[in-house]
Amino acid sequence: MERWLKTRQDRVWSEDLAAKLEGDLTAQSHQDVLKRVVSLIVGNSVLDVGCGFGELIPYLSHVEYVGVDSSEAMLKRARTKFPKAFFLDANLYTLDFHKCDTVVAIDFLHHQPALEPAFSKLLALAEKRLIVTLWIWGRTKGQDGPRQYHGMWGEFLTWHTEKELRQKFKGLTYRVEKSIGGLWSDLYIFDV
């Protein structure tokens, strides 16, 4: 968490950047990912960590939704679009919240400096299921540089190999849907 805060990751997603990013999320490929994620939700409560603009909400019905994000700019837009939804301005590392049936973290873990402690915290918050996306190293041309770097807006970008993820998740019950939303992005579904 110290490294995350030292590089001001809690302030990367400014108002200007949020406005640019919000337009990108209307792409059909992103909407298809959201629909797929919603189809995998189990139970009556959803905790959406790194919820951004609350993009899951239009696809949800009959579940209690809580969105969590550390970007004030994104939460401001989410609250405007979905005034009846509940959002928390918090980061995962300091989040004190009860378990939810399903925890979702889409396009979140690749913005962390390391898989831990974020992954374990997400798993601990899930009563029945955890759904995450992870960026997979080695699937696109030109991936011969570092597996972690700062993106064009200053955000962390962290990639993992399939082999290291298999080792990390050994003993857990999960399945993978490969290349969802992009060649490099896999959807991991953990049953708790």
Q: In this structure, what CATH number is given to the domain that contains residue 31?
A: 3.40.50.150
First vs last C-alpha separation in the chain: 25
Higher pLDDT, 147 or 8: 147
Instruction: Take residue 178 and report the two structure tokens written for it.
Output: 């490969």
**Lowest-pLDDT range, 2-11, 121-130, 164-173?**
2-11
Q: What is the mean pLDDT of residues 118-137?
A: 96
Residue 23 confidence class, pLDDT cut points 50, 70, 90:
low
Question: Considering the domain boundaries, does residue 43 fall inside one?
Answer: yes
Residue 20 lies in a domain: no
Beta strands in 11-112 (DSSP E): 45-49, 64-69, 86-89, 100-105
> What pLDDT score was predicted for residue 155?
78
Q: Has residue 150 been placed in a domain?
A: yes
How many Å apart are CA 28 and CA 112, to the nearest integer?
Answer: 26
Query: What whole-number distance in Å separates Cα of residue 179 and Cα of residue 79?
Result: 31
Q: How far apart are CA 91 and CA 112, in angstroms?
A: 11
Contact yes or no for 39/60 (Cβ under 8 A): no
Domain membership of residue 22 (yes or no) is no
Per-residue pLDDT band at 174 (split at 50, 70, 90): very high
Is 17 inside any structural domain? no
CA distances, 74 to each of 14, 80, 152, 166 (Å): 8, 10, 18, 33
What is the per-residue pLDDT for 181? Answer: 84
Query: According to the per-residue pLDDT averaged within each range, which of 31-35, 36-40, 58-62, 89-93 is highest?
Result: 36-40
In a domain, 167, yes or no: yes
Q: Is the pLDDT of residue 7 over 60?
A: no
Instruction: Confirm whether 104 is domain-assigned.
Output: yes
Q: Please, how many CA atoms are within 13 Å of residue 126, restricted to the half-sphere of its CB? A: 23
Model confidence band, residue 165 (pLDDT cutoffs 50, 70, 90)? very high
Tally of domains within the chain = 1
Question: What does the block give as tokens for 27?
Answer: 């792409």
Least confident of 21-30, 51-60, 160-169: 21-30
pLDDT surpassing 90 at residue 102: yes
CA gap 39, 89 in Å, rounded: 26
- Give the domain range for residue 68: 2-10+27-191
- Are 122 and 130 in contact by the 8 Å Cβ rule? The answer is yes
